[in-house]
Amino acid sequence: MGVGLRVPVLVGAALTLLGGLYAALLLSGAGVPAPSAPVEEVHGPVMVLGFVGSLVALERAVALGRRIALPAPGCSAAGGLVLLGGGPWFVGKLLLVLGGVGLLGIYRELWKRGGSVALLAQVVGAFAWCAAGLLWVAGFLVPEVVPWLVVFVVATIAGERLELARVGMRGVGVERWFLGVLCGLVVGALAVHLWPSVGGHLFGFALLALTGWLVVFDVARRTVRGSGLPRYVAAGLLAGYGWLAVAGVLWAGGGVVLDGDRYDAVLHSVFLGFTMSMVFAHAPVILPAVLRRPLPYHRALYAPLALLHLSLLVRVGIGDTTGFEDLWRWACYANIVAVLGFLGCVAALSTTAGRKRGTA
């Protein structure tokens, strides 16, 4: 599977990210021109399934190494663009669901090569993607499908950490604990729909249990004492785990939340503090494998990572807590600048390294 086939999918994912960030500006009340389509209403699914889903499916397609796997990330990116572009929302939603189904197909082929607990977790994540998409198509509101979106990103990332960091995660007992908290996460997501009064609390405790597993067994606890790229990756991971714990506490203590300041805090603790931090941390490892272009580590990568977490701390810790709207809005702007700054760093570092390699 040539690199040329991967580039359009990655471009589609990048456009989905930019569109999702523009929708975030609209949601924050920024004075920017509003498109004819109410893109702010699809901001969450576009960012989670359209952008993150495309990245996950593309990376897995590259791991499989077969062209037939590319429609999965292609559908998720296309679905996000249709929703942002004002196309028929049913079509956009259906494309996102097809992306999840395609990812399940990729995992099916990978499982034939060798099943594992790590791969099983990622399969659970793909099922959660499909569940979220189908519920959305069926008419459920975005806040009602958030637990399944959370299961998608958390189970997928936890599975990849188990797969990538085998040195610090060995032993049958470790994997059994992992399976237990993974089951708890799925049961919690189901309970949110079946028994809302207790489901949110259960889901929060499951998130806390999984966070505890990651903190205890992830090799990042040791590599953060190192230097260079390993330390940068570890810093991004540990900071992300901290935000996952914040979301778990908010859910465990307050139960189901569908709107308001606590909803904003929970949502962005998971999808910005945890998920985007994982994207920042893994990009220097994953992008070269996907694009076959170097992305060398540079200390400049710490700048957008630090801005992401500091601005989110202000947003959640002060803006959502006190209701100080102006401060909350500027923190939202800083969140967006952090993501754009990271994209700029990646583009600059990759371009510079590519030129040096070409000259050599």
**Region 170-195 average pLDDT:** 87
pLDDT of residue 351: 86
- Specify whether 91 is located in the same domain as 130: no
Among 68, 89, 114, residue at a domain's last position: 114
Look at the chain and count its residues: 360
In the structure encoding, which two tokens stand for residue 151, read together? 């299961």
pLDDT band at 156 (very low <50, low <70, confident <90, very high): very high
Provide the domain count of the chain: 2
DSSP summary character for residue 36:
S
- Specify whether 161 is located in the same domain as 262: yes
- Specify whether 140 is located in the same domain as 256: yes
Pairwise CA distance, residues 105 & 235, whole Å: 33
- Specify whether 92 is located in the same domain as 182: no
In the structure encoding, which two tokens stand for residue 340, read together? 């754009």
- Specify whether 147 is located in the same domain as 294: yes
List all residues 6 or more positions away from 88 whose beta carbon is below 8 Å from its beta carbon. 82
Among 267, 301, 335, residue at a domain's last position: 301
Tell me what the pLDDT averaged over the chain comes to.
91
- Specify whether 73 is located in the same domain as 50: yes
Pairwise CA distance, residues 168 & 234, whole Å: 13
Quote the distance between the C-alpha of residue 222 and its chain's center.
24
- Specify whether 192 is located in the same domain as 45: no
pLDDT of residue 7: 86
- Specify whether 192 is located in the same domain as 277: yes
In a domain, 203, yes or no: yes
Query: What share of the chain in percent tops pLDDT 90?
Result: 70
In a domain, 312, yes or no: no
Longest dimension (CA), the chain: 63
pLDDT of residue 357: 58
For residue range 2-39, list pLDDT tens digits in order.
Answer: 677 788 899 999 999 999 999 999 999 888 888 877 88
- Specify whether 52 is located in the same domain as 164: no
Burial code (b: 16+ CB inside 10 Å, e: under 16) for 268-286 equals: bbbbbbbbbbbbbbbbbeb
In a domain, 320, yes or no: no
Among 114, 134, 153, residue at a domain's last position: 114
Pairwise CA distance, residues 138 & 130, whole Å: 12
- Specify whether 70 is located in the same domain as 128: no
- Specify whether 103 is located in the same domain as 122: no
- Specify whether 120 is located in the same domain as 105: no
CA-atom Rg of the chain in angstroms: 19
**Region 224-253 average pLDDT:** 95
pLDDT of residue 358: 55
Backbone angles phi, psi at 193, to 5 degrees: -85, -40
Question: Tokens 């076959």 appear where?
Answer: 292
**Cβ count near 262 (within 10 Å):** 18
Identify the domain containing residue 25 by its residue range: 1-114
